[in-house]
Amino acid sequence: MSVQTVKETLARVAAAPSPDVEDLRYLLAREADAEVQPILDAADRTRRQFMGNGILLRGIVEFSSFCRNTCFYCGLHAGNTRITRYRMSAEEILESVRRISSQGVQTVVLQSGEDDGLDPAWLAQVVRDVKKRFGIAVTLSVGERPREDYALWREAGADRYLLKIESSDTDLYDSLHAGRRLETRFRCIFDLTTLGYQLGCGIMVGLPGQSLRHIAGDILFFAERRFDMIGIGPFIPHPETKLRGLPPGSVPLTLRTVALTRIVTKAAHLPATTALGSMGRDYRLDGLRAGANVLMPNFTPVEYKTLYEIYPGKRCVSEPTGACALCMEGLAEGIGRTIDYSRGDSLVTQAVTPERP
Nearer of residues 135 and 312 to ligand SAM, judged by Cβ = 312
Q: Which stretch binds ligand SAM (CB under 6 A): 33-41, 229-237, 282-290, 332-340?
A: 229-237
- Could you tell me the smallest distance in angstroms from the CB atom of residue 185 to ligand SAM? 9
Contact between 238 and ligand SAM per CB under 6 A: yes
Nearer of residues 23 and 114 to ligand SAM, judged by Cβ = 114
Contact between 173 and ligand SAM per CB under 6 A: no
Q: Which stretch binds ligand SAM (CB under 6 A): 5-13, 72-80, 122-130, 279-287?
A: 72-80
Site string for ligand SAM, 114-143 (x = CB under 6 A): x--------------------------xxx
Give which of 277, 296, 298, 275 is closest to 286, Cα–Cα.
Answer: 277
- Could you tell me the smallest distance in angstroms from the CB atom of residue 341 to ligand SAM? 25
Contact between 163 and ligand SAM per CB under 6 A: yes
Contact between 235 and ligand SAM per CB under 6 A: yes
Burial class for 82, CB neighbours closer than 10 Å (0-12, 13-18, 19+): exposed
- Could you give the CA distance from residue 141 to residue 127 in angstroms, rounded to a whole number? 13
Contact between 310 and ligand SAM per CB under 6 A: yes
Q: Which of 111, 198, 265, 298 binds ligand SAM (CB under 6 A)?
A: 111
- Could you tell me the smallest distance in angstroms from the CB atom of residue 238 to ligand SAM? 5
**Beta bridge pairs of residue 107:** 137
How far CA 299 is from CA of 62, 100, 232, in Å, comes to 8, 7, 21
Contact between 166 and ligand SAM per CB under 6 A: yes
Give which of 160, 162, 113 is closest to 136, Cα–Cα.
Answer: 160
- Cβ within 8 Å of residue 61, ≥6 positions away: 88, 93, 96, 97, 100, 108, 109, 110, 111, 299, 300
Q: Which of 38, 50, 64, 73 binds ligand SAM (CB under 6 A)?
A: 73
- Could you give the CA distance from residue 253 to residue 96 in angstroms, rounded to a whole number? 34
Contact between 265 and ligand SAM per CB under 6 A: no
Contact between 236 and ligand SAM per CB under 6 A: yes
- Could you give the CA distance from residue 205 to residue 235 in angstroms, rounded to a whole number? 6
Q: What are phi and psi of 57, to 5 degrees?
A: -115, 135
**Beta bridge pairs of residue 56:** 294, 340
Nearer of residues 185 and 337 to ligand SAM, judged by Cβ = 185
Contact between 217 and ligand SAM per CB under 6 A: no
Nearer of residues 5 and 186 to ligand SAM, judged by Cβ = 186
Alpha helices in the chain (DSSP H): 2-15, 21-28, 33-51, 90-102, 120-134, 147-156, 170-176, 182-194, 212-225, 251-265, 284-289, 302-305, 323-334
- Cβ within 8 Å of residue 287, ≥6 positions away: 254, 255, 258, 270, 271, 272, 273, 276
Nearer of residues 72 and 134 to ligand SAM, judged by Cβ = 72
Which of the 8 DSSP states describes residue 336?
T
Evaluate the CA torsion angle 254, 259, 263, 268 in order and state its sign: positive
Total residues binding ligand SAM (CB under 6 A): 20
Contact between 165 and ligand SAM per CB under 6 A: no
Burial class for 50, CB neighbours closer than 10 Å (0-12, 13-18, 19+): buried
Contact between 113 and ligand SAM per CB under 6 A: yes
- Could you tell me the smallest distance in angstroms from the CB atom of residue 67 to ligand SAM? 6
Q: Which stretch binds ligand SAM (CB under 6 A): 29-37, 132-140, 233-241, 294-302?
A: 233-241
Contact between 76 and ligand SAM per CB under 6 A: yes
Q: Are 108 and 88 in contact (CB under 8 A)?
A: no
Contact between 204 and ligand SAM per CB under 6 A: yes
**Which residues bind to ligand SAM, rule: CB under 6 A?**
73-74, 76, 111, 113-114, 141-143, 163-164, 166, 204, 233, 235-236, 238, 275, 310-311
